[in-house]
Chain A
Amino acid sequence: MPKITPGTLGAVAAVALLLALPPILDLVGAPFYVDVATRIAIFAIAAVALDLVLGYGGMVSFGHAAFIGVGAYTVGILSTHASNGTLLFDGALPIGGTHSALIAWPLAVLASALVAFFIGLVSLRTRGVYFIMITLAFAQMIYFFFVSLETYGGDDGLSLWERSSLLGLDLYDSTVFYYLVIFILIAVLVFCRRLVGARFGRVIVGARENERRMNAIGFPTYRYKLVCFTISGAIAGLAGALLANQTEFVSPSLLHWTRSGELIVMVVLGGMGTLLGPVVGAIFFLLLEDVLSELTQHWMIIFGPLLILVVLFANRGLLGLLRRGTGNDTR
């Protein structure tokens, strides 16, 4: 199967560039940008997760920030309990906190997956605008849940006393943390690539294209969409766990509804229903936000119309623009 195609070459080049980034930045005297790149990569993971439901599954989720938040809070809460030595649950089976990434991160993924499962269970019964709005409503519920969660800082948020510990790696070292995040991003991309090409992915794409037909040829599409939604939530939760570690801080602002909107922007900006699209979108979105906000306080007045222009004239995303010439469009 591994043929040398332009795509494979591009992927190899991209990975090489990602790996070489920290030394390059060091060389040009801008090592700080490793942190920026890390943050972009984390949001890229979340955007890829969203693209799985949005681009491949055609489910416009307006609540994905909630899953990032749940993942981040899981790590934050476990870390708090580990730091002050208190128990998370008391009673017959007392459970304490932990700093260990090997425990905390899978739990973050699991928690987000569970939340996504239950939200999906209800939301996927609806269609179209109703789906958009009900996912937004659920995300708002979770947002307010964390706002009122006074034990864990409520609206003020929760400081991570320590970053997670992972196999003796120094996660405080920007470069180490960067490589870890890049490794996870690539792993997520590979997993998603396999997933969309496998039977499961075919069902998801089929349901996007023509759900009625999928039912008629014998697929219980609801089930598959629910699993897809859950997987997507789980990956977003992983991004949340990473973000909590990078920021060393978790707060409800992570779950604000505009965050869900920004994630959608990233996916569409880069190109829906492609795997690299969301990555490109995250890079472009966050850099643009950064550059514009350094340019002027009123950067939103540029950013807003820019968004409209993208939708009107480049709604296949940046990747789509690049590919228009070559006619190589996988969507």
Chain B
Amino acid sequence: MTAALFAEQVLNGLQLGVMLFLMAAGLTLVFGIMNLINLAHGSLYMMGAYLTATFQQATGSFFLGLLLALPATAVVAMLVELVALRQLYDRDHLDQVLATFGLILFFNELTRIIWGPSAYFLDVPEVLSGTVEVLPGIPYPAFRLAILLAGLAVAAFLFFLIARTRLGMLIRAGASNREMVSALGVDIRLLYTLVFGLGAALAALAGGMAGPILAVQVGMGESILILTFVVIVIGGIGSVHGALVAALLVGLVDTFGSVLLPAAAAEMAIYLLMALILVWRPSGLFPVNA
């Protein structure tokens, strides 16, 4: 592998990594604060992609479509939170796994009824359609570069949000001490709904940005869901910066695994990585409740 090719693969790995981070951040927050395992997080990703495509067709602009899809997905998610998930916070993980498994089936079928069984079209916006010469002789798709940058920007925003804002303070407090948050006079249920909406918007952002690259189709959420779980488990459930590190790690291992290892081994590499890390640290790289 030449140095230029290596650099390109690093970019590919990082791009997959930030995508996984967008998914993992929401999932890990929801787990850390509400103690909820949400298998249907992948459905929100799918929802984001479909809504972006629909709004893009309506408005003629990808960016406008994406911008509309984020709050729309968040609203759908918050409705689901209000109706169903809210009842699950105090249940054990098993109940949560089951109920959100049911949600996956529901969302998949709903999508199929609304948008039809075939893959849906979503194109790269005109301004990002070409390639950029990131290194001499290595053209890299502009859109992928944009995803990478957008992902990093969101990561920075998220860290700022959590570290510096009142909402972030509540999120941090909520994760460790529900009573204290209540004592501050904050409606903890509202906080939960907001956090869930935030996670959904992040998933929608990932889905919307993946739409032009991938087939927008029913079931697209499941393949990334399992990888996302691998990421948050490796990072330590509830830890946002753990999620970032693990997402980039998984992105790189997956990318290099698929070009360096024989096919069968590449498929198993990620899971092997996870098993090894859990043997070494049973609560992930950055355990939250040490």
Contacts and interface: CB of A to CB of B under 8 A. Distances in A.
Interface of A: 54, 60, 62, 122, 125-130, 132-134, 136-138, 140-141, 144-145, 147-149, 257, 261, 264-265, 268, 272, 298-301, 303-308, 310-312, 315
A322 to B, nearest CB: 20
Nearest to B283: A130
A137 to B, nearest CB: 4
Interface in B234-280: 237, 263-264, 267-268, 271-272, 274-275, 278-279
A125 B226 contact: no
Given A128-B93, A300-B105, A304-B106, A137 B230 contact: yes
A315 B91 contact: yes
B221 to A, nearest CB: 13
22 contacts: A126-B278, A130-B233, A132-B37, A133-B274, A137-B271, A149-B264, A261-B101, A264-B94, A264-B98, A268-B95, A299-B109, A300-B105, A301-B105, A301-B110, A304-B105, A304-B107, A307-B102, A311-B95, A311-B98, A312-B84, A312-B87, A312-B88
Given A132-B37, A133-B230, A304 B104 contact: yes
B155 interface: no
Contacts of B107: 304
Nearest to A125: B282
Contacts of A307: 98-99, 101-102, 105
B274 A134 contact: yes
A264 B101 CA distance: 10
A297 to B, nearest CB: 9
Interface in B64-80: none
The 10 closest A-B pairs by CB, nearest first: A307-B102, A304-B106, A304-B105, A148-B264, A144-B267, A301-B109, A300-B109, A311-B99, A141-B271, A304-B102
Contacts of A300: 105-106, 108-109
A308 B263 contact: no
Contacts of A303: 102, 105
B207 interface: no
B174 interface: no
Contacts of B95: 268, 311, 315
B94 A54 contact: yes
A126 B103 CA distance: 27
Contacts of B106: 300-301, 304-305, 308
Contacts of B278: 122, 125-126, 130, 134
Chain A CB within 10 Å — which of B105, B112, B263, B268 has the most? Answer: B105
Interface residues of B, number: 42
A148 B267 contact: yes
A272 B97 CA distance: 15
A311 B88 CA distance: 9
Contact of B97 (A122, A130, A132, A138): A132
A60 B110 CA distance: 29
A315 B99 CA distance: 10
A312 to B, nearest CB: 5
Interface string B46-89: 00000000000000000000000000000000000000100110
Contact of B279 (A125, A132, A257): A125
Nearest to A257: B226
Given A125-B278, A315-B91, A304 B103 contact: yes
B101 A134 contact: no
B45 interface: no
A275 B229 CA distance: 31
B113 interface: yes
Given A125-B278, A129-B237, A312 B267 contact: no
A134 B226 CA distance: 11
Contacts of B229: 133, 136-137
A137 B278 CA distance: 11
Contacts of B112: 298
B275 A134 contact: yes
Given A141-B272, A307-B102, A60 B94 contact: yes
A252 to B, nearest CB: 11
B284 interface: yes
B31 interface: yes
Contact of B264 (A133, A136, A145, A315): A145
A312 B97 CA distance: 12
A92 to B, nearest CB: 26
A54 B93 CA distance: 12
A257 B226 CA distance: 10
Contacts of A311: 88, 91, 95, 98-99, 102
